[in-house]
Amino acid sequence: MHCREAPDGCMILGMRIVFTNHALLKMGRRHLSRNIVADAVRFPEVIRESWGGRKEYYRRYGGIHLKVIVKRERAVILVLTAHWIAHVPDS
């Protein structure tokens, strides 16, 4: 799997934030910068468990929310994808 680090060496709890090539491709198509996605990972308003050991991070920007799917691997938070959603789903 090919990956790229977040800008400015972004870290959370001593873990580097790294983007998969898939995430970067989808973020480019959705006009999402690495900075805004890294901020959502560092400062989420909601964190939800997902399947396969993944987590969903949510952060509100204006009237919509950014959803970021991540997976922790050793000392890395791996960003798998990110996209805008209208609201955070109920648990």
Q: Is the pLDDT of residue 13 over 70?
A: no
Q: Is the pLDDT of residue 6 over 60?
A: no
pLDDT at 40: 95
End-to-end CA distance of the chain: 31
pLDDT tens, 36-81?
999 999 999 999 999 999 999 999 999 999 999 999 988 899 999 9
CB proximity list for 74: less than 8 A, separation 6 or greater: none
Q: Cα(78)–Cα(70) distance, rounded to whole angstroms?
A: 5
**16: closest CA among 66, 68, 82, 78?**
78
Instruction: Fill in the amino acid letter for 77.
Output: I
What pTM does this model have? Answer: 0.84
